[in-house]
Chain A
Amino acid sequence: MMRTLRRAVAVGLGALALTAAGASPASAHATLERAVPGAHERLARPPNDLLLFFDQPVAPQFSRVTVTANGGGPNLVAGPMRRVRTEVLVPLLPGPKGTYTVRWRMLSAGDGHVVQGAFSYGVGVSPAAPAALAGGGPPVGADILRWMVFLGLALAGGTLLVRAWVWRPAAAAIGATEEGLRHEWKRAAAIALAAAAVALHADLYAFLTSAHSVTGGKLVQFADAQIQPLRAETRFGVAWTWTTFVWLAVIGLIVTAWIGSDRHRE
């Protein structure tokens, strides 16, 4: 029974490791490869559409594009964006001659990072450079929390594996008592449990931090922000859903194994 439970814990942690390993190739953010009209391009007439080509899928429903003429004025985007695979089509209203500044802010559907940028093109004139984007530096909170998830996974899995493959055989070889081995198992389980709990919480707050970077605004307003579409319609939201349940299963198995070791003593 105990051995089965411990194997189940190992399988759960293995599943988490595979999830983490599987997520890493998709962790690069979406980047804008090119646009039509492109940066610094000079056109004879205002275009009807703006096409943005990304290197991986984005989620336009959580994204924003503004196009303004001559450094200000109204947003010339005529309607909702449409996405075809990695391309985003933005319908435009006609505007005057001059420099058009495109500011885009996209949610990478893969890793949930918000990427943004700006470029300009000209209609009837050679375009001037776009003004610098306002705002703070890159968001690091979500990255720190994701590292905590990986550290939790490494600590929980590492502790149990070292205990099973190194510590226990070594202790048995030097003639440790059954009581001593059980005490040592409880210590390993406590470390693994704490690490799993930290990872579970870091995972939740990493998702919420990413969601906040998408919705923007103050923290008080974010409390009532609808996060359900982000969870259900983005890959990082779906990944968070699964990893949460796997973490809960791992925690449940460690707790059950702990209680089972007590019963064994009885």
Chain B
Amino acid sequence: MTINGSEVARAHWLFGAIFLAMVLQELGPPVVRAGVRRASFAFPVVFLLAGVSMWGAAVFGNTAIDAVVHSFWGDILIAAGVLDLQRRRGRLHAAWGPLVLPVAIGLCGALFLAHSEGSPAKDPTALWHVLMGGVLVAAALGGVMWVRRGSLRWLGAYGAPLTAFSLLLLTFPRSG
């Protein structure tokens, strides 16, 4: 079984739709009502499932670097999902607990930038990789600041790039 470019694009669109829904349900309530912090399990569970999917993508990846990078994404997302799930369930009390997801998002962004192949000026897939990496790194910085400061402005700096990332996934070029 092999996967062609259209199926790769469809997988990105599906993940983009799910991720957008999760970002809205995770960050929407604190935006609407200041001071509200969500403890929903949905966000870390999506990270966990995304991590398993990334390992699936590693298996069906076209090149060796695809396999390695997707496996790294899988490891980061699974580890972050488990740790954040335990934090939300009250099993992890470490001071660094709330930073797990923003840091994982930043690492994933850095891997996107490293994974980018070809020239972004000529290849739409390479351009999308650079854009997705950039917004994830920006989201990570916003997320870390939101955890530290807790202000609505930093929540916006966290949520807006994550929403942009979802939209980039939803418009992922078919040729990829």
State whether B67 touches A204 (Cβ < 8 A). Answer: yes
In this assembly, does B162 line the interface, its C-beta being within 8 Å of a C-beta of chain A?
no
Question: Is chain B's binding surface mostly helix, strand, loop or mixed?
Answer: helix
Tell me how many residue pairs across A and B have CB atoms closer than 8 Å: 58
CB distance from B138 to the nearest CB of A (A): 27
Contact in complex: A208, B67 (CB < 8 Å): yes
Are B63 and A225 in contact, with the CB atoms below 8 A?
yes
Stretch at the interface among B19-27, B29-37, B54-62, B151-159: B54-62
Q: Does A245 contact B (CB under 8 A)?
A: yes
Quick check: is B91 within 8 A (CB to CB) of the other chain?
yes
Interface size on A, residues (CB 8 A): 25
Contacts of A225 in B (CB 8 A): 63-64
> Could you say which interface size class chain B belongs to?
20 to 34
Docked pose: A244 CA to B68 CA in angstroms? 14
A248 and B89 CA atoms in complex are apart in Å by 23
Tell me the minimal C-beta distance from B130 to chain A in angstroms.
18
B58 touches A232 (CB 8 A): no
B64:A227 contact, CB within 8 angstroms: yes
Is B85 part of the binding interface, using a Cβ–Cβ cutoff of 8 Å? yes
Flag if B59 contacts A227 (CB, 8 Å).
Answer: no
In Å, the complex CA distance between A169 and B64 comes to 46
21 chain-A/chain-B pairs, Cβ below 8 angstroms = A204-B58, A204-B71, A211-B64, A222-B64, A226-B63, A227-B63, A228-B60, A228-B61, A231-B60, A232-B1, A240-B59, A244-B58, A244-B59, A245-B56, A245-B59, A248-B52, A251-B78, A252-B52, A255-B82, A259-B85, A262-B89
Give B residues with C-beta under 8 Å from A.
1-2, 48, 52, 55-56, 58-65, 67-68, 71, 78, 82, 85-86, 89, 91, 117
